[in-house]
Amino acid sequence: MFERNTTVAWNQFYFDHARQMAAHYTVSHCTNQYPIAIQGRVGKITRAIKDDPTRNVLNLQKLKASANPNEATDGISLEVSVWAAKANWFDGVNEGDEVVVFGLWKAPAPTQTKSTKEGYFKTYTNRRLNLTLAVKSQITKV
């Protein structure tokens, strides 16, 4: 049960690595926002972006781009990013670790880029899911 007596099924609350695109759909189409849990493998941790100690990000490994059902030459990718004001909130978590992150995610508008390599996709629609940690306990190793 969440705000306004919202009942959420497990598959709309917990998203493993393979279902991260479904998490994006849930967040971007939900009228009553509620916290969800996303599992994934840590891809990269960047601390003090542009020498700002309050800008720290952990990116999960990306899924392989999939074909846009409306345009076969457009690949859809997803970047899942966890932001923290304190760099030490990522202490104990390393690249390659499996984690679960819980909270109120945001899905900014997707961007489109042209492919830089010759291949199947000519363009990419880049979707994102972002979460800013309020407390360190929102991220845990599995």
Total domains in the fold of the chain: 1
Q: Which pLDDT score, from 0 to 100, does residue 1 have?
A: 42
CA separation for the pair 131, 133 (Å, rounded): 6
The parent domain of residue 97 ranges over 3-141
pLDDT truncated to tens, each residue of the chain (142 aa)?
Answer: 456 677 888 998 999 999 999 999 999 998 888 999 999 999 999 999 999 999 999 999 999 999 999 999 999 999 999 999 999 999 999 999 999 999 999 999 999 999 988 888 999 999 999 999 999 999 999 9
Q: Which pLDDT score, from 0 to 100, does residue 2 have?
A: 52
Whose CA is closest to 95, among 54, 28, 47? Answer: 47
Q: Which pairs with CB-CB distance under 8 Å and at least 24 residues apart come from 111-114?
A: 112/74
CATH number for 120: 2.40.50
With a CB cutoff of 8 Å and minimum separation 6, the contacts of 6 are 32, 34
Could you give the angle at the alpha carbon of 106 between the alpha carbons of 69 and 11, nearest 5°?
65
Q: What is the pTM of this model?
A: 0.90
